[in-house]
Amino acid sequence: MSVIESVLNETRTFPPNGTFVKQANVSGMAAYQAMCTEAEKDYKNFWAKQANHYLLWHSPFSQVLDESDPPFYKWFNDGEINISYNCLDRHLSTQPDKTAIIFESDEGEITKATYRELHQSVCQFANALKAQNIKKGDRVVIYMPMRIEAVVAMQACARIGAIHSVVFGGFSAKSLHERITDAGAVTIITADEQVRGGKHHPLKATVDEAMSMGGANSVKSIVVYQRSGSNIPFNPDRDVWWHEITQLANIDCEPEWVNAEHPLFTLYTSGSTGKPKGVQHSSAGYLLGTMVSMQWVFDYKSSDIFWCTADVGWITGHSYVAYGPLAMGATQVIFEGVPTYPNASRFWEIIQKHKVTTFYTAPTAIRSLIKLGPDLPEKHDLSSLRLLGSVGEPINPEAWMWFYEKVGQSRCPIVDTWWQTETGSHMIAPLPGAFTLKPGSCSLPLPGIQAAIVDETGQDVEQGNGGFLVIKNPFPSQIRTLWKDPERFKKVYFPEEIDQGKYYLAGDSAYRDDDGYFWIMGRIDDVLNVSGHRLGTMEIESALVANPLVAEAAVVGKPHEIKGESVIAFVVLKGQLPQAEEASKIILELREWVAQEIGPIAKPEEIRFGENLPKTRSGKIMRRLLRTLAKDEEITQDISTLENPAILEQLKKSIK
Ligand code: WTA
């Protein structure tokens, strides 16, 4: 509740400045309200209008929304489209020589690709994939460094109607294996290595390790992009080099026209259980969401230099790197490295060098940039910036103020964008030429999005009260289902208890203030938000329990200055409670183990041992007590239902 405590006292407001309002795509509150009114009157017609305005259709749709089998909504279903055509070909006649991507490598090497060049690379790679016998509907896992080629791989899949599933390069072999087998991938696209912050990380070797775990029989080939040129394992019966297969490929590739509802991609995300969920998105509705938000929230102008710092392994890197900016015809920066290498000014140097106008990043990055050098932004020329954005977790007002004053020089509005892997694009976010900003609030829903706060039965709560954040009407960019698990999809996102499953349940709690502004309080499920990344506590617990030393484990989050939240694990070992020296050894081993099982981002910050965990008489772990213990606070909650109160002392005192 630290967020709500800090934001409750937040009264600062920042009305949009006149210069920004004048040039804004949505200028002034009345313009926003007019769009909302139009959408409220007839939201199907509203979205149909947007779909005809923004998307290029191969054959038009006649039905806007098919709601015959809720919550399996279909948008623009009988229309035919291709997403790569919408992102690339459409610009060939209007702006072929405009720079689409300015790429800066970890070492600082700069490569640019125009729309014509990007189109050609995508067509060639799409043909190469076809030559590998990849067809419409096939699943392709992409495990790549953050480079132009990652975008080319995604766009090439879209071009031939293959369904990509990008796995973040920081995930372990085990996590990768789980995703490859669940998706039933026929191909994996990877690189020899990933280079970040001067360090080389093996990608191909990790893919090999995942393959050796068995069960990935669907995989027929592995395409390897040569990033570092290091020596890597290569199996000529199965592996092919990216540069070799593209060299042979033709540069013309007719797009595969697909149904609007054809899955563009699946992306795995954490939920309340140990098994990650394969969030499945559509083609047309998804792209539409990214485009309208580029226009409304990022106030996109063709002169912009857009920079979203997210990796393509996350939804933000899908919507605001690989798809939205390209569909709008933007010039964007893609950066391979980290903010701290070779020095703490790297981000500011990139903004200065490439004259970035729109800078979209995460609160965790902002907080670490503050720590690295609060005055560093002032030492650079950041006058090109005109708009800042934040995503991934609630931004604490102090970080917001620093971002606003030091980076945006009190000139640039900040769009604090609330959305999720499942929503595909922004849902609640300021329209910067219209809204008054409040530090820490993501403000108001976009036109066409009926966000609300309800209680456990689905009734609206009174303004000012906290509750579950829901979206009441279907919207084009929403999740279509969970890959191979429609039942779980229904249960998790459209639970019967909440107004008979009519509303999309986001999994966040929130409240609205007197102006109707939304303030996100946190997750309502067992999902942690570590450095803006979603991690399921159950996932980490299952990983810990899989270690031969561990009998039982419970994981909770603890507020963290930079990461937002950090992972704290309470562990019961199979043997005796360890003594100091042995305990430190086991802690090291278990942290490494979790990194191996899931990925370094899931490593517990702290591990505490006990002979047992605090449980109710019915055997349920009392997590709220663990959360209090993790924060080293006194337990004031009622512990009368606790089976074994003595355990609290032990977990408090135990070696950290
Ligand atoms: C949280 C990232 C507050 C929220 C796009 C959500 C936020 C989860 C914000 C989704 C924000 C994201 N303010 N909280 N502006 N943006 N969140 O799927 O808890 O990685 O449910 O998508 O991040 O995380 P995901």
pLDDT digits (tens, 9 = 90+) for 457-488: 999 999 888 899 999 999 999 999 999 999 99
Residue 523 alpha carbon, nearest atom of ligand 1: 19
The CA distance from 628 to 577, in Å, is: 22
Q: Residue 562, class by beta-carbon neighbours within 10 Å (0-12 exposed, 13-18 middle, 19+ buried)?
A: middle
For residue 12 the two structure tokens come to: 């600062």
Closest CA to 452 of 399, 498, 385: 498
Q: Is the CB of 421 under 6 A from ligand 1?
A: yes
For residue 494 the two structure tokens come to: 């459209």
Q: Residue 649, class by beta-carbon neighbours within 10 Å (0-12 exposed, 13-18 middle, 19+ buried)?
A: exposed
Q: Is the CB of 529 under 6 A from ligand 1?
A: yes
The CA distance from 523 to 554, in Å, is: 17
Closest-CA residue, ligand 1 atom 5, reads 420
Q: Is the CB of 316 under 6 A from ligand 1?
A: yes
The CA distance from 414 to 452, in Å, is: 23
Closest CA to 522 of 538, 504, 509, 532: 509
- Type of residue found at 371: K
Q: How far is CA 50 from CA 39, 41, 56, 448, 561, in A?
A: 11, 15, 11, 11, 41
Per the omega criterion (within 30 degrees of 0), is the bond before 71 cis?
A: yes
pLDDT at 418: 98
pLDDT at 5: 47
Q: Is the CB of 441 under 6 A from ligand 1?
A: no
Low-confidence ranges of the chain (pLDDT < 50): 1-6
pLDDT at 463: 86
Which of 290, 364, 529, 531 maximizes ligand 1 atoms within 8 Å of its Cβ, making it the mutation to test the pocket? 529
pLDDT at 8: 61
Which of 420, 426, 437, 601 maximizes ligand 1 atoms within 8 Å of its Cβ, making it the mutation to test the pocket? 420
With H, G, I as helix, E, B as strand and everything else as coil, classify residue 189. Answer: strand
Separation of CA 480 from chain center: 17
* Residue keyed to tokens 């971002």: 403
Q: Is the CB of 523 under 6 A from ligand 1?
A: yes
With H, G, I as helix, E, B as strand and everything else as coil, classify residue 132. Answer: coil
Which of 318, 441, 470, 508 maximizes ligand 1 atoms within 8 Å of its Cβ, making it the mutation to test the pocket? 508
What sign does the CA torsion over 524, 525, 531, 532 have?
A: negative
Residue 531 makes CB contacts below 8 A (sequence gap 6+) with 362, 364, 562, 563, 564, 601
For residue 191 the two structure tokens come to: 């690189």
Q: Is the CB of 311 under 6 A from ligand 1?
A: no
pLDDT at 622: 86
Q: Is the CB of 364 under 6 A from ligand 1?
A: no
**Hey, which residues does 565 pair with through a beta bridge?**
559
Q: Is the CB of 519 under 6 A from ligand 1?
A: no
Q: Is the CB of 277 under 6 A from ligand 1?
A: no
CA of 481 to the centre of ligand 1 (A): 19
Q: What angle do CA 388, 391, 392 make, to 5 degrees?
A: 160
Per the omega criterion (within 30 degrees of 0), is the bond before 342 cis?
A: yes
CB 23 within 8 A of CB 433: yes
CA of 105 to the centre of ligand 1 (A): 28
CA of 418 to the centre of ligand 1 (A): 6
CB 208 within 8 A of CB 233: yes
CB 417 within 8 A of CB 461: no
Residue 534 alpha carbon, nearest atom of ligand 1: 20
Q: Is the CB of 528 under 6 A from ligand 1?
A: no
Q: Residue 226, class by beta-carbon neighbours within 10 Å (0-12 exposed, 13-18 middle, 19+ buried)?
A: middle
For residue 206 the two structure tokens come to: 């990790």
Q: Is the CB of 417 under 6 A from ligand 1?
A: yes
DSSP string, 61-82: -S-SEE-SSTTS-EESTT-EE-
Q: What is the DSSP letter of 276?
A: P
At 43-101, the pLDDT tens digits run: 999 999 999 999 999 999 999 999 999 999 999 999 999 999 999 999 999 999 999 99
pLDDT at 308: 98
Within a 10 A sphere around the Cβ of 515, how many other Cβ atoms?
13
pLDDT at 62: 98
The CA distance from 190 to 167, in Å, is: 10
CA of 426 to the centre of ligand 1 (A): 10
Which of 426, 534, 601 maximizes ligand 1 atoms within 8 Å of its Cβ, making it the mutation to test the pocket? 534
pLDDT at 2: 41
Residue 53 makes CB contacts below 8 A (sequence gap 6+) with none
Q: What angle do CA 9, 14, 18 make, to 5 degrees?
A: 170
Closest-CA residue, ligand 1 atom 4, reads 393
CA of 4 to the centre of ligand 1 (A): 15
Helix axes 43-54 and 284-296, enclosed angle (nearest 10): 90
CB 140 within 8 A of CB 164: yes
CB 101 within 8 A of CB 113: yes
CA of 573 to the centre of ligand 1 (A): 34
Provide φ and ψ at 434, rounded to 5°: -130, -45
Q: Residue 588, class by beta-carbon neighbours within 10 Å (0-12 exposed, 13-18 middle, 19+ buried)?
A: exposed
The CA distance from 621 to 618, in Å, is: 9
* Residue keyed to tokens 């766009």: 155
Q: Residue 655, class by beta-carbon neighbours within 10 Å (0-12 exposed, 13-18 middle, 19+ buried)?
A: middle
CB 220 within 8 A of CB 184: no
The C-alpha R_g of the chain, in whole angstroms, comes to 24
Counted residue by residue, the chain has a size of 656
Q: Residue 621, class by beta-carbon neighbours within 10 Å (0-12 exposed, 13-18 middle, 19+ buried)?
A: middle
CA of 445 to the centre of ligand 1 (A): 14
Closest CA to 179 of 191, 192, 190, 168: 168
Residue 522 alpha carbon, nearest atom of ligand 1: 19
Which of 419, 478, 565 maximizes ligand 1 atoms within 8 Å of its Cβ, making it the mutation to test the pocket? 419
Closest-CA residue, ligand 1 atom 7, reads 393
The CA distance from 481 to 499, in Å, is: 20
Closest CA to 454 of 523, 508, 525: 508
CA of 246 to the centre of ligand 1 (A): 37
pLDDT at 9: 67
pLDDT at 1: 37
* Residue keyed to tokens 């001067």: 198
pLDDT at 4: 46
pTM assigned to the model: 0.93
Q: Is the CB of 393 under 6 A from ligand 1?
A: yes
Q: Is the CB of 508 under 6 A from ligand 1?
A: yes
Residue 390 alpha carbon, nearest atom of ligand 1: 15
Q: Is the CB of 282 under 6 A from ligand 1?
A: no
Within a 10 A sphere around the Cβ of 116, how many other Cβ atoms?
16
Query: In 307-407, where does DSSP find H-type helix?
Result: 315-317, 324-328, 346-354, 363-372, 397-402
Residue 422 alpha carbon, nearest atom of ligand 1: 18
Closest CA to 271 of 453, 485, 519: 485
Closest-CA residue, ligand 1 atom 1, reads 393
Closest CA to 543 of 600, 498, 488: 600
The CA distance from 237 to 217, in Å, is: 14
CA of 522 to the centre of ligand 1 (A): 9
Closest-CA residue, ligand 1 atom 14, reads 393
The CA distance from 8 to 511, in Å, is: 10
